[in-house]
Amino acid sequence: MKDFFGQQEQAKRNTSFLVLMFVCAVILIVFSVYLAVTAGLLVTQVFIAQQTDLFIHDFWDVDRFLWINGITLMIVAAGSVYRTHQLKQGGGSAVAALLAAERVPSNSMDPLHSRLLNIVEEMAIASGMPVPPVYLLSQSGINAFAAGFGPRDAVITVSQGAVELLSRDELQGVIAHEFSHILNGDIALKMRLMGLLFGITLISDCGIVMMTARGSSRHHGQERGTHPAMLVMGFMIFMVGTIGSVFADMIKRAVSRQREFLADAAAVQFTRNPEGIAGALKVIGGYASGSRIQHAATQQTSHFFFCNAVKSWENKNWWATHPPLIERIKRLEPGFNGHVNSVDAVTRRAEVMSGAMHAFDAGQGIATGLVASADALMLSIGKPDGEALQHARHILNRMPKRVTDFAHDSFTARAVMYALLLDSASTIRKGQLNQLQKQADASVFRELLDIQPLVAKLDPELRIPLLEMLIPALKSLSRTQFDTFRGCISSLIRADHKTDLFEYMLQRMLLRHLYPSFLKTKPLKVCFDSPEQVIDQVAELIVLLIDRGRHVNPANTFKLAMSAFHEGDMPDMPVISAGVIHTLDEALKKLERSSPALKRTLLKACVVTVLADGNTAIAEIELVRAIADALDVPVPPFDTSTQ
């Protein structure tokens, strides 16, 4: 199985293949529309035979082809650009809204919802990515999906049937499968597929408009029926558009099928429990409603789901969006005999609810030795395993319940964020509180005074996981609330007239993940794919890490780290005496435009730096996590329990 960066490269190749197939589909449609229009004009001649200047003397006409070609391309391109832009503005939540899914409140008291949210939190923290918002689909079928263009705007949506009928292990396997799609770049590919297909479907819509158009009498103003020539032309264009949509839909389904086995395998690696996801598939196979989702938008979103969401002929192997259920189970359990037992939904619901009512076993989730070497951590990027998941549970168990309760509510989450930025020096903290009292919501300020002592006592290594937990709640703020919140964050950081490294990292990570929900953002383009293009910026990051870790032999650590990044000539060790924040910010702005392969070597150099002297300081771990976040690389939490 490829590593995270290999999967990113594979996702790029899949996108290129998709674009090529889409172009082929459009070319086929253009020629077919030309044939349809020409046939319609031939029929028209029967009704206007006296006007010989409108006769079609040749079947092939360059001017006619160019006109039809231009109009067809304009319709397809406009539709695709419009839908893709619409999806980018809404991210994964746009797909959830299309299916009428509702956001699960982060502070939900429903035991089944709390169990779901806890699983998603564990997965996100173990993966080293922000916790995505969770949506609930009011459907009895057992299904789920992840959507979005990347970790920043990703959402997890789960059906009511999955929440009620799957045990914790089974639901965890399903969620792990969906996280694999996020980490491997599959969701971005699926979002683009959805946008491209919308443009093609407009052709058949144009045919319908032509067939249903009504004329009117010039003299009497009476409505007339559709002209026979228009009926013929509209019908043929409708058929062309439909066939083109079917062809494009087959591309969508083929791309979807090839990624499902990978996601199943990744889920097993993540949870170390093949019985979990296999059990979920067996429940689906034995449940009367299966994985069906009954909604008007199911057809266009079917490639997002965990299992086939549409019944009947879509479940044929050559047409389905997913591999056969039995084949997926056999790959997870080689000894499976192919028989699934029928599911008694009433009994199953009672059992699942009973399990959800019990508290988590506090004895589970303590992991040791997560990071044995730089290579081990690099292999874990984008492919978290059971050990990382246990460590994530351990982190959540160490969080005071009152802090997690505050973090799950959009109102009190702001107070937690403010508390993270309060200075340890009493004089500076007093000035920050005075400023907040003037600027922040009065009720939020009162909550801050309540939660601040608990947040101040948190172990430093819990700060970034806590930040990741805050993201879903903060994304549900109104635009006005967000603007006030952003202003308060800025005021807290400027209170002492300087910005330290932790404040910068916290602000950058937070706003980077919140901006797409409130402001228009443009996707970054890859501009650098050679080590020589960014070697100076990498050297600066290594020096900053060395300084944060207080290494005994900085020069040797620098050489070791730079050799991990580039085997050629390396620059001298830079001296950063002033402007640390500016240096880091400028370096990250350039490095975030690097290719996946370049990001791999950069992250490895950073990890080598952290582990060079056998001691992992919290300050340098936080900086590595901030660097990885800027590069869109989900680095799992470091485990320092054995050091």
Chain Cα centroid distance, residue 413: 22
> pLDDT category, 474, cuts 50, 70, 90?
very high
Q: What is the pLDDT of residue 360?
A: 40
Which residue do the tokens 């409603």 mark? 289
Number of Cβ within a 10 Å radius of residue 160: 16
Whether residue 640 is contained in a domain is answered as: no
Closest among 641, 635, 632, 639 to 149, alpha carbons compared: 632
Q: Residue range 436-457: average pLDDT?
A: 91
| 378-413 pLDDT tens trace | 777 777 777 778 888 888 888 998 999 899 988 899
Point out the least confidently predicted range of 232-241, 338-347, 530-539, 562-571. 232-241
Residue 576 pLDDT greater than 90, yes or no: no
Say which residue, 364 or 557, is predicted with more confidence. 557
CATH code for position 166 = 3.30.2010.10
Alpha-carbon distance of 410 to 630, in angstroms, equals: 24
Contact residues for 613 (Cβ-Cβ < 8 A; gap 6+): 549, 551, 552, 553, 557
The radius of gyration computed from the CA coordinates of the chain, to the nearest angstrom, equals: 28
Residue 163 pLDDT greater than 90, yes or no: yes
Q: What is the pLDDT of residue 365?
A: 33
Same domain, 121 and 221: no
Number of Cβ within a 10 Å radius of residue 220: 8
User: Mean pLDDT in the chain?
Assistant: 80
- Give catalytic residues, as residue numbers: 178
> Would you say 14 and 255 are in contact if contact means Cβ atoms under 8 Å apart?
yes
Q: What is the pLDDT of residue 363?
A: 35
Helix/strand/coil for 391: helix
**Bridge-partner residues for 102, per DSSP?**
136
Whether residue 269 is contained in a domain is answered as: no
| 554-565 pLDDT tens trace | 888 888 888 888
Joined tokens for residue 559: 């050489």
Same domain, 465 and 591: no
Provide φ and ψ at 343, rounded to 5°: -105, 125
Say which residue, 262 or 480, is predicted with more confidence. 480
DSSP-derived secondary structure for 489-515: HHHHHHTTTS--HHHHHHHHHHHHHHH
> pLDDT category, 160, cuts 50, 70, 90?
very high
- Strand bridging mode 223-224 / 144-147: unpaired
Joined tokens for residue 221: 């103003």
Residue 166 pLDDT greater than 80, yes or no: yes
Alpha-carbon distance of 545 to 618, in angstroms, equals: 11
Q: Residue range 93-114: average pLDDT?
A: 88
Whether residue 373 is contained in a domain is answered as: no
> Would you say 309 and 162 are in contact if contact means Cβ atoms under 8 Å apart?
no
> pLDDT category, 258, cuts 50, 70, 90?
low
Report the chain's terminal Cα–Cα distance, integer Å: 30
Closest among 420, 573, 460, 595 to 524, alpha carbons compared: 595
Report the number of distinct structural domains present in the chain: 4
Per cent of the chain over pLDDT 70 is 82
Element of type H or E holding 548: helix 531-549
Same domain, 603 and 552: yes
Same domain, 82 and 212: yes
Residue 320 Ramachandran class (φ > 0 left, ψ -120 to 50 alpha, else beta): beta
Q: What is the pLDDT of residue 348?
A: 87
Q: Residue range 164-190: average pLDDT?
A: 89
Contact residues for 448 (Cβ-Cβ < 8 A; gap 6+): 415, 418, 419, 433, 436, 440
Joined tokens for residue 176: 């792990």
Same domain, 249 and 142: no
Whether residue 252 is contained in a domain is answered as: yes
Q: Which of 219, 242, 263 is the last residue of a domain?
A: 263
> pLDDT category, 213, cuts 50, 70, 90?
low
> pLDDT category, 143, cuts 50, 70, 90?
very high
**Bridge-partner residues for 158, per DSSP?**
136, 144
> pLDDT category, 47, cuts 50, 70, 90?
low
Element of type H or E holding 74: helix 62-90
> pLDDT category, 358, cuts 50, 70, 90?
low
Provide φ and ψ at 134, rounded to 5°: -115, 135
Q: What is the pLDDT of residue 44?
A: 66
Q: What is the pLDDT of residue 52?
A: 47
Q: Which of 203, 233, 263 is the last residue of a domain?
A: 263
Q: Residue range 61-72: average pLDDT?
A: 81
Same domain, 410 and 476: yes
Same domain, 299 and 150: yes
Query: Given CA atoms 383, 385, 387, 389 in this order, what sign does their dihedral have?
Result: positive
Whether residue 165 is contained in a domain is answered as: yes
Alpha-carbon distance of 465 to 407, in angstroms, equals: 11
Whether residue 404 is contained in a domain is answered as: yes
Q: Where are the alpha helices (DSSP H) in 360-500?
A: 374-380, 386-398, 401-407, 410-421, 426-439, 442-456, 463-475, 479-494
Point out the least confidently predicted range of 408-417, 423-432, 543-552, 582-591. 543-552
Q: Which of 483, 516, 549 is the last residue of a domain?
A: 516
Point out the least confidently predicted range of 188-192, 365-369, 564-568. 365-369
Domain that holds residue 608: 531-630
Alpha-carbon distance of 226 to 385, in angstroms, equals: 63
Q: What is the pLDDT of residue 224?
A: 52
| 297-326 pLDDT tens trace | 888 888 889 988 886 544 455 556 678 888
Residue 568 pLDDT greater than 60, yes or no: yes
Whether residue 162 is contained in a domain is answered as: yes
Same domain, 409 and 508: yes
Length of the chain equals 643
> pLDDT category, 75, cuts 50, 70, 90?
confident
- Strand bridging mode 223-224 / 215-216: antiparallel
Same domain, 82 and 124: no
Joined tokens for residue 332: 């997870």
Which residue do the tokens 């080689």 mark? 334
Alpha-carbon distance of 6 to 25, in angstroms, equals: 28
Same domain, 57 and 172: no
| 226-256 pLDDT tens trace | 566 677 777 777 777 777 767 766 766 666 6
Q: Residue range 539-565: average pLDDT?
A: 86
421-428: which pairs have CB atoms within 8 A and are 24 or more residues apart? 421/489, 421/492, 421/493, 421/503, 421/506, 422/452, 422/455, 422/456, 422/492, 423/495, 423/496, 424/456, 425/496, 428/495, 428/496
Whether residue 463 is contained in a domain is answered as: yes
Which residue do the tokens 């703020």 mark? 477
Residue 418 pLDDT greater than 70, yes or no: yes
Same domain, 8 and 66: yes
Say which residue, 89 or 536, is predicted with more confidence. 536
Closest among 228, 241, 203 to 39, alpha carbons compared: 228
Q: What is the pLDDT of residue 173?
A: 92
Task: To the nearest 10°, report the CA torsion of 105, 110, 114, 116.
Answer: -90
Alpha-carbon distance of 72 to 66, in angstroms, equals: 10
Q: What is the pLDDT of residue 448?
A: 92
Kindly state the DSSP code that residue 133 receives in the 8-state scheme. P
Residue 277 pLDDT greater than 70, yes or no: yes
Residue 359 pLDDT greater than 50, yes or no: no
Q: What is the pLDDT of residue 369?
A: 32
- CA atoms within 13 Å, Cβ hemisphere of 252: 27
Point out the least confidently predicted range of 102-111, 194-203, 357-366, 498-507. 357-366
Q: What is the pLDDT of residue 256?
A: 64
Q: What is the pLDDT of residue 325?
A: 86
Q: Residue range 546-559: average pLDDT?
A: 83
> Would you say 357 and 111 are in contact if contact means Cβ atoms under 8 Å apart?
yes
Same domain, 90 and 105: no
Per cent of the chain over pLDDT 90 is 20
Say which residue, 20 or 221, is predicted with more confidence. 20
Say which residue, 253 or 414, is predicted with more confidence. 414
Chain Cα centroid distance, residue 242: 30
